[in-house]
Amino acid sequence: MDSNEKYMREALKEALKAFDLGEVPIGAVVVCKGEIIGRGHNRREQSKQAIAHAEILAIQQANDHLGNWRLEDCELFVTLEPCPMCSGAIILSRLKKITFGTTDLKAGTCGTLMNLVQDRRFNHYVEVESGVLQEECAMLLKEFFALLRLRNKERKQGI
Ligand SMILES: [Zn+2]
Protein backbone atom coordinates (compact mmCIF):
# COMPACT_ATOMS: atom_id res chain seq x y z
CA MET A 1 0.00 0.00 0.00
CA ASP A 2 1.49 3.39 -0.86
CA SER A 3 1.91 5.88 1.96
CA ASN A 4 -0.82 8.19 0.63
CA GLU A 5 -3.33 5.36 0.92
CA LYS A 6 -1.97 4.36 4.31
CA TYR A 7 -2.57 7.82 5.77
CA MET A 8 -5.92 8.21 4.03
CA ARG A 9 -6.97 4.95 5.70
CA GLU A 10 -6.16 6.60 9.03
CA ALA A 11 -8.27 9.61 8.05
CA LEU A 12 -11.07 7.19 7.11
CA LYS A 13 -10.80 5.60 10.57
CA GLU A 14 -11.42 9.05 12.03
CA ALA A 15 -14.37 9.56 9.68
CA LEU A 16 -15.86 6.29 10.92
CA LYS A 17 -15.65 7.56 14.50
CA ALA A 18 -17.73 10.56 13.42
CA PHE A 19 -20.20 8.25 11.64
CA ASP A 20 -20.69 6.21 14.83
CA LEU A 21 -21.42 9.41 16.75
CA GLY A 22 -24.06 10.50 14.23
CA GLU A 23 -21.81 13.23 12.86
CA VAL A 24 -21.22 13.84 9.15
CA PRO A 25 -18.35 11.37 8.56
CA ILE A 26 -15.25 13.41 7.78
CA GLY A 27 -11.83 12.57 9.21
CA ALA A 28 -8.34 14.03 9.04
CA VAL A 29 -4.77 13.31 10.13
CA VAL A 30 -1.63 15.46 10.15
CA VAL A 31 1.59 13.62 9.29
CA CYS A 32 5.07 14.87 10.09
CA LYS A 33 8.12 12.92 8.87
CA GLY A 34 6.13 9.72 8.66
CA GLU A 35 4.49 10.08 12.06
CA ILE A 36 0.83 10.93 12.72
CA ILE A 37 0.91 13.88 15.11
CA GLY A 38 -2.69 15.04 14.87
CA ARG A 39 -6.05 13.36 14.39
CA GLY A 40 -9.53 14.75 14.15
CA HIS A 41 -13.06 13.89 13.14
CA ASN A 42 -16.03 16.15 12.64
CA ARG A 43 -17.60 16.90 16.04
CA ARG A 44 -19.91 19.77 15.17
CA GLU A 45 -23.08 18.28 16.67
CA GLN A 46 -21.49 16.93 19.83
CA SER A 47 -19.48 20.02 20.63
CA LYS A 48 -22.15 22.41 19.28
CA GLN A 49 -19.30 24.41 17.76
CA ALA A 50 -19.54 25.61 14.17
CA ILE A 51 -15.77 25.33 13.77
CA ALA A 52 -15.33 21.75 15.07
CA HIS A 53 -14.32 20.39 11.65
CA ALA A 54 -11.98 17.40 11.37
CA GLU A 55 -9.14 19.45 9.85
CA ILE A 56 -9.24 22.15 12.54
CA LEU A 57 -9.11 19.55 15.33
CA ALA A 58 -6.24 17.65 13.66
CA ILE A 59 -4.28 20.90 13.11
CA GLN A 60 -4.80 21.93 16.75
CA GLN A 61 -3.53 18.57 17.96
CA ALA A 62 -0.49 18.80 15.67
CA ASN A 63 0.25 22.35 16.96
CA ASP A 64 0.06 21.05 20.54
CA HIS A 65 2.28 18.08 19.71
CA LEU A 66 5.02 20.23 18.16
CA GLY A 67 4.54 23.20 20.47
CA ASN A 68 4.50 25.30 17.32
CA TRP A 69 1.83 26.95 15.18
CA ARG A 70 3.94 26.31 12.08
CA LEU A 71 3.41 22.96 10.37
CA GLU A 72 5.86 23.56 7.52
CA ASP A 73 7.12 19.98 7.29
CA CYS A 74 3.70 18.44 7.73
CA GLU A 75 0.99 17.12 5.46
CA LEU A 76 -2.73 16.90 6.03
CA PHE A 77 -4.84 13.99 4.83
CA VAL A 78 -8.59 14.52 4.87
CA THR A 79 -11.44 12.45 3.48
CA LEU A 80 -13.36 15.41 2.00
CA GLU A 81 -12.10 18.54 0.24
CA PRO A 82 -11.67 21.33 2.82
CA CYS A 83 -14.14 24.21 3.20
CA PRO A 84 -13.13 27.93 3.24
CA MET A 85 -12.51 27.96 7.00
CA CYS A 86 -10.28 24.89 6.91
CA SER A 87 -8.50 26.10 3.78
CA GLY A 88 -7.73 29.27 5.75
CA ALA A 89 -6.39 27.23 8.66
CA ILE A 90 -4.25 25.19 6.22
CA ILE A 91 -2.68 28.38 4.85
CA LEU A 92 -2.17 29.90 8.30
CA SER A 93 -0.52 26.78 9.69
CA ARG A 94 1.85 26.68 6.67
CA LEU A 95 1.10 23.05 5.89
CA LYS A 96 3.30 21.78 3.08
CA LYS A 97 0.75 19.61 1.35
CA ILE A 98 -2.82 18.44 1.63
CA THR A 99 -4.30 15.28 0.19
CA PHE A 100 -8.03 14.80 0.09
CA GLY A 101 -10.22 11.86 -0.83
CA THR A 102 -13.29 13.23 -2.54
CA THR A 103 -14.35 16.64 -3.80
CA ASP A 104 -17.00 18.77 -2.10
CA LEU A 105 -19.21 20.27 -4.78
CA LYS A 106 -20.98 22.52 -2.27
CA ALA A 107 -18.15 23.88 -0.15
CA GLY A 108 -14.77 22.69 -1.45
CA THR A 109 -12.19 25.44 -1.78
CA CYS A 110 -9.10 23.45 -2.75
CA GLY A 111 -9.97 23.43 -6.42
CA THR A 112 -13.73 22.89 -6.74
CA LEU A 113 -15.56 26.18 -6.00
CA MET A 114 -12.26 28.04 -5.90
CA ASN A 115 -8.69 27.27 -4.95
CA LEU A 116 -7.76 29.22 -1.82
CA VAL A 117 -4.73 27.13 -0.90
CA GLN A 118 -3.01 27.74 -4.24
CA ASP A 119 -3.79 31.42 -4.70
CA ARG A 120 -0.40 33.06 -5.24
CA ARG A 121 -1.66 36.31 -3.73
CA PHE A 122 -1.42 34.68 -0.29
CA ASN A 123 2.01 34.33 1.28
CA HIS A 124 1.82 30.55 1.38
CA TYR A 125 1.27 27.99 -1.35
CA VAL A 126 0.14 24.45 -0.57
CA GLU A 127 0.64 21.34 -2.69
CA VAL A 128 -2.66 19.59 -3.37
CA GLU A 129 -3.40 16.00 -4.31
CA SER A 130 -6.90 14.59 -4.64
CA GLY A 131 -8.70 11.35 -5.36
CA VAL A 132 -6.86 9.10 -2.88
CA LEU A 133 -9.34 6.34 -1.85
CA GLN A 134 -11.96 8.57 -3.45
CA GLU A 135 -14.66 5.91 -3.66
CA GLU A 136 -14.41 4.87 -0.04
CA CYS A 137 -14.41 8.46 1.21
CA ALA A 138 -17.45 9.33 -0.94
CA MET A 139 -19.31 6.11 -0.11
CA LEU A 140 -19.13 6.76 3.62
CA LEU A 141 -20.75 10.17 3.15
CA LYS A 142 -23.38 8.73 0.80
CA GLU A 143 -24.27 6.03 3.31
CA PHE A 144 -24.54 8.56 6.10
CA PHE A 145 -26.93 10.84 4.22
CA ALA A 146 -29.02 7.89 2.99
CA LEU A 147 -29.38 6.73 6.60
CA LEU A 148 -30.26 10.24 7.71
CA ARG A 149 -32.97 10.55 5.05
CA LEU A 150 -34.38 7.17 6.06
CA ARG A 151 -34.50 8.19 9.72
CA ASN A 152 -36.16 11.51 8.91
CA LYS A 153 -38.75 9.70 6.79
CA GLU A 154 -39.44 7.21 9.58
CA ARG A 155 -39.76 10.03 12.07
CA LYS A 156 -42.33 11.78 9.87
CA GLN A 157 -44.27 8.57 9.51
CA GLY A 158 -44.05 7.98 13.25
CA ILE A 159 -42.35 4.57 12.94
ZN1 LIG B 1 -13.96 22.74 7.16
Name the active-site residue from 23, 55, 75, 81.
Answer: 55
Query: Alpha carbon of 57 to those of 114, 120, 145: distances in Å?
Result: 23, 26, 23
* Ligand 1 geometric centre to CA of 56 (Å): 7
User: How many Å apart are CA 70 and CA 147, to the nearest integer?
Assistant: 39
Taking a 5 Å cut-off on Cβ, the residues next to ion ligand 1 are 53, 83, 85-86
pLDDT in tens, 32-84: 999 999 999 999 999 999 999 999 999 999 999 999 999 999 999 999 999 99
Can 55 be counted among the known catalytic residues?
yes
**Model's pTM, two decimal places?**
0.95
pLDDT in tens, 70-79: 999 999 999 9
